[in-house]
Structure 1
């Protein structure tokens, strides 16, 4: 009897060791040892689509291509955003092709518009349910007769936030590409050496920055610095507000940093982009929108 009990005890011990060996035979393995490894979680689908199928453009005279073809007139066919001119090769042409521009792109910008008008334009854009909305707005908020008349930064922010809210209410999945404002001081530096530009600017083109272009007195420099600082502040607002929206992409200051030369400015007002300038804007936007992240 004692022999049989010793045999059963020994057999049980052997069985336990075998089971432990199959499981890895270490306490560190724990209860999950021996189970198949879990598959890695699938990567989430990127929110940003680099090839949207429709486009609505909101903004001001730059997007309407004012003074790009003829004096004191819009020329939307050469717009950087929705134009049909092959030489400009607009964003819409690049993304949608010639056949898609007519039926799947809309230019809702208005010459002279300021940021306070953007909510209204965004409502119109949302009604068309575009896959992409481009925004280039704010230059007119800085280009007032004097620095004192520039739109306060807080009001600029409130209008931009309201505009995105309007879009989200009507088109919650629309992507938004926000262009920075151009460096107005650099435009002054480019055109101030031209006697013709000086005469045109005296007629009231962006007076806060461009009035008396040959004047480099301390007072004039303070005036121009105030305008440039406000443009920088506006761009910071665009970046900050856009960053809070998962479907919004800011251009990172690409337009602000671009050095427009004389050939890329309107030959009539030396301020708005020329046909060539519109082409450069289209290229910058296309790079920003199709960039993989």
Structure 2
């Protein structure tokens, strides 16, 4: 065979080899493509993406236990008898059906007794809250309620009110205390009530004004009928401090994913004389305690914080 013939034969063999290689390559690519959409999927049909599992909500709208910290409001002070605590009508953990406390609404009668605890103290200020929170945390509650700050504003004079920076430090300390001992506990924080409105409502009752002279919130309630420039400025400074406190409560709570602030609902609630104690015309009556319980229940069970 001539050299040209052998060369032609070699070129033909190389062409056939390249053809076979191309076919095998196409087949391999085809197999790989089938695997990408699922080996059993019909041609042209892509595998549907599986939906990502929904994350478990951080906030539990039906906690199984409740602990309360705070001041005289949460102790039901002056709601039953004069100048006395009455925790059974507390908005947070009370057992009175007349009030229907947050604990009663969330837990039911028997469990409200066995699975709720009230560590609030009459006269307590924000500086007392870390200690109360440490006590509450020992119970490992699923929900802790906070209503504190009125006594920080209710001092002998506006000059002796708790500075806002100290108020913030004490509240942050209280939250940190809870988080160290009970990191998954939920926190419901109530705003400080509108003290100026309580003054304007309570001053209509002569008996209430006599009780105020015993020393109830003098920075706001002293000389209840005096409305001159100095008295007005004094009350306005107290009111501004309450609003500043509520700003702190909101900001600190927003920094904690397991905390819900009431968004100012208690501060904005227009307490009337029916909601005020008929012993001192300043603290919540049983009716007022029931209104606080309603506000708290709506906040705790809301779908979004």
Give me the TM-score of the superposition, normalised by structure 2.
0.86
Correspondent of 2:237 among 198, 216, 226: 226
1:203 & 1:176 partners in 2: Cα distance?
A: 34
2:64 & 2:58 partners in 1: Cα distance?
A: 15
State the partner residue of 2:156.
145
1:198 maps to 2:209: yes
1:184 & 1:169 partners in 2: Cα distance?
A: 33
How many Å apart are 1:148 and its aligned residue? 0.3
Correspondent of 1:123 among 93, 113, 134: 134
Secondary structure of 1:50's aligned partner:
coil
State the partner residue of 2:102.
91
State the partner residue of 2:303.
292
2:158 & 2:222 partners in 1: Cα distance?
A: 11
State the partner residue of 2:5.
none
State the partner residue of 1:168.
179
1:249 & 1:264 partners in 2: Cα distance?
A: 24
Correspondent of 1:55 among 30, 49, 66: 66
1:158 maps to 2:158: no
1:185 & 1:7 partners in 2: Cα distance?
A: 99
1:4-36 CA-partner distances (Å, limit 9, x unpaired): 998998898899889989999xxxxxxx96352
1:162 & 1:172 partners in 2: Cα distance?
A: 14
Secondary structure of 1:200's aligned partner:
helix
2:239 & 2:27 partners in 1: Cα distance?
A: 79
Aligned residue pairs total 287
Aligned 8 A contact 2:120 2:132 in 1: yes
1:234 & 1:267 partners in 2: Cα distance?
A: 27
* Stretch moving more, 198-207 or 233-242: 198-207
Aligned 8 A contact 1:82 1:105 in 2: yes
How many Å apart are 1:171 and its aligned residue? 1.0
State the partner residue of 1:76.
87
1:37 & 1:20 partners in 2: Cα distance?
A: 22
Gaps of 5+ in 1: 25-31
State the partner residue of 1:272.
283
How many Å apart are 1:211 and its aligned residue? 1.2
1:44 & 1:104 partners in 2: Cα distance?
A: 28
Aligned 8 A contact 1:23 1:34 in 2: no
How many Å apart are 1:170 and its aligned residue? 1.1
Secondary structure of 1:249's aligned partner:
strand
Gaps of 5+ in 2: 1-8, 39-46
How many Å apart are 1:204 and its aligned residue? 1.9
1:201 & 1:149 partners in 2: Cα distance?
A: 18
1:205 & 1:110 partners in 2: Cα distance?
A: 15
Aligned 8 A contact 1:57 1:106 in 2: yes
* Dislocated runs of 4+, deviation >4 Å: 1-24
* Stretch moving more, 205-214 or 128-137: 205-214
1:205 & 1:70 partners in 2: Cα distance?
A: 16
1:144-176 CA-partner distances (Å, limit 9, x unpaired): 111001000111111111111111111111111
State the partner residue of 1:135.
146
How many Å apart are 1:198 and its aligned residue? 2.6
2:96 & 2:233 partners in 1: Cα distance?
A: 40
Correspondent of 1:34 among 34, 37, 54: 37
Aligned 8 A contact 2:102 2:293 in 1: yes
